[in-house]
Structure 1
């Protein structure tokens, strides 16, 4: 004998599943943004400005140049990475030979390269105009022969990053709109099955607030459960990806991921409450004939 449907029953599972899927997609977009920003930050921090020293500069002169460079505000903090690296002309020759497989020292009879400092700059200075100003400022230091950096790299990276953020933001907004509409319609269908019970409560004198309270509370609980399930799926996905994709661990910012998880849960509760309240308001105002 089929089980009778209980009065006031509610398709909780369907709503929770819809909310979970929706919130998971939003959270996934958030993860992509967090990790792409971290990747860009790492790329920027590893771009170097090379300061070549005059051949006539003594060891004391090189130390003086180093002290001046270290005092500059654009130099990356030592807490983030090693900001300045000294490269002797012998080490530079070894790097060149290793990269080209050609021993130019034997061919020329001497090493024409110069001692240099490789300087990493702060992320906020990663713009073509600011890098050009840094080059000009460093070349004014006594004993500096030349300052070199990869021109146009900053502008190209910044332009590509802007395009990526625009695409991700557009996708997230479109997904949010679709998701809100989807969840809203799911809750509307659920409330539709309760329309006669709602009208019966109105007929016996129940106020709108009294009728709304249990449904809104249920919507909040559904949103909370959906948010927790979506957050759990995000954590599982993130951990599986970190264990199976080499180098991905460097892109993890667990504090921001924790904030994202909190936002997903809060968003779930907010969507559950707002959609339930909106759907209820429609039936509370509806005429009796329209219920049929």
Structure 2
């Protein structure tokens, strides 16, 4: 009979630990998903900014050698991500494809000018950065004008800023919820062991001695929960890329690694801290208070 009770108690303890690990894993999964959303949102905003084009129109009669020299100078500018030379002939062909007719033949000459398409780095793709760059380049004698959509740049940066604030606010709320859920899960698990904690204390065990195995299990549960969450995150990423292949351009393995490490550290930290405070609570209580 005694062996049966020990076996039953052991099974209950194992089921509590398993449910604790699963609960921690699910909460960390939500936190990790939000981290991935934040990373992808940042990378997407950089991708959008770095695809805003500035057309540098050169003066008529400028030789191709001078244009290529200007392009090389632009490539060396710290604000420039990449450039593309568009000759007047290529510009004419592109416009003909868009219009569906040969306007050069109709006019008898090509009215278009050669240009250089410039794409700025994300940090410079804002109103102030573009205006400074445009003013600097316009001083070059080869440049006739710098053409860009000022309203588009304002709209892109404003929308990205608003979306970023919304995501950050949501992230803060979810982090608070995650901490609260894991803390409550750990407290419930420790609650089932409250009589064992008090019994150890009554036979003379020190508080540190009592806390040690519970802290070990708490850290282990956080670690296991984090590893399970990472596996689920990898599965989610795989299926997301299967459904949306274009998401590959936003992939950054270094940032992913930081998120995965953060998920494990968060699980260990919250689980360990919650275990410490929960055990300390029952160490302070009197025996009669344990029945409440």
SS of the aligned residue for 2:278 comes to helix
Per the alignment, do residues 220 and 64 of structure 1 end up closer, same or farther by CA in structure 2, a change over 3 Å counting? closer
Deviations 1:42-63 (A, max 9, x none): 2222222111111122234324
**Is 1:279–2:281 an aligned residue pair?**
no
Q: How many residues align?
A: 286
The structure 1 segments of at least 4 consecutive aligned residues displaced by more than 6 Å after TM superposition are: none
Q: How far apart are residue 123 of structure 1 and its match? A: 2.0
Q: Which whole-Å CA distance do the structure 1 matches of 2:185 and 2:56 have between them?
A: 63
**Is 1:107–2:97 an aligned residue pair?**
no
Structure 2 equivalent of residue 40 of structure 1: 45
Structure 1 equivalent of residue 156 of structure 2: 157
| Equivalent residues of 1:40, 1:161 under 8 A apart | yes
SS of the aligned residue for 2:57 comes to strand
Matches within 5 A, 1:10-159: 11-76=16-81, 83-159=82-158
Q: Which whole-Å CA distance do the structure 2 matches of 1:60 and 1:195 have between them?
A: 83
Q: How far apart are residue 278 of structure 1 and its match? A: 1.3
Q: Which whole-Å CA distance do the structure 2 matches of 1:231 and 1:220 have between them?
A: 16
| Equivalent residues of 1:226, 1:268 under 8 A apart | yes
SS of the aligned residue for 2:209 comes to helix
In terms of mean alpha carbon deviation, does 17-26 or 106-115 score higher?
A: 106-115
Q: Which whole-Å CA distance do the structure 2 matches of 1:7 and 1:32 have between them?
A: 39
Q: How far apart are residue 108 of structure 1 and its match? A: 2.5
Per the alignment, do residues 284 and 7 of structure 1 end up closer, same or farther by CA in structure 2, a change over 3 Å counting? farther
| Equivalent residues of 1:127, 1:154 under 8 A apart | yes
Q: How far apart are residue 120 of structure 1 and its match? A: 1.7
Structure 2 equivalent of residue 216 of structure 1: 215
Per the alignment, do residues 61 and 198 of structure 1 end up closer, same or farther by CA in structure 2, a change over 3 Å counting? closer
Question: Please, what is the CA RMSD of the aligned residues?
Answer: 2.0
Q: Which whole-Å CA distance do the structure 2 matches of 1:204 and 1:58 have between them?
A: 95
Structure 2 equivalent of residue 80 of structure 1: none
Q: How far apart are residue 133 of structure 1 and its match? A: 1.6
| Equivalent residues of 1:17, 1:226 under 8 A apart | yes
Structure 2 equivalent of residue 79 of structure 1: none
TM-score (norm 1): 0.91
Matches within 5 A, 1:253-264: 253-264=252-263
| Equivalent residues of 1:52, 1:117 under 8 A apart | yes
TM-score (norm 2): 0.91
Deviations 1:73-107 (A, max 9, x none): 3222xxxxxx2211111211221222233443233
Q: How far apart are residue 8 of structure 1 and its match? A: 8.9
Q: Which whole-Å CA distance do the structure 2 matches of 1:182 and 1:66 have between them?
A: 57
More helix by share: 2
Per the alignment, do residues 51 and 134 of structure 1 end up closer, same or farther by CA in structure 2, a change over 3 Å counting? same
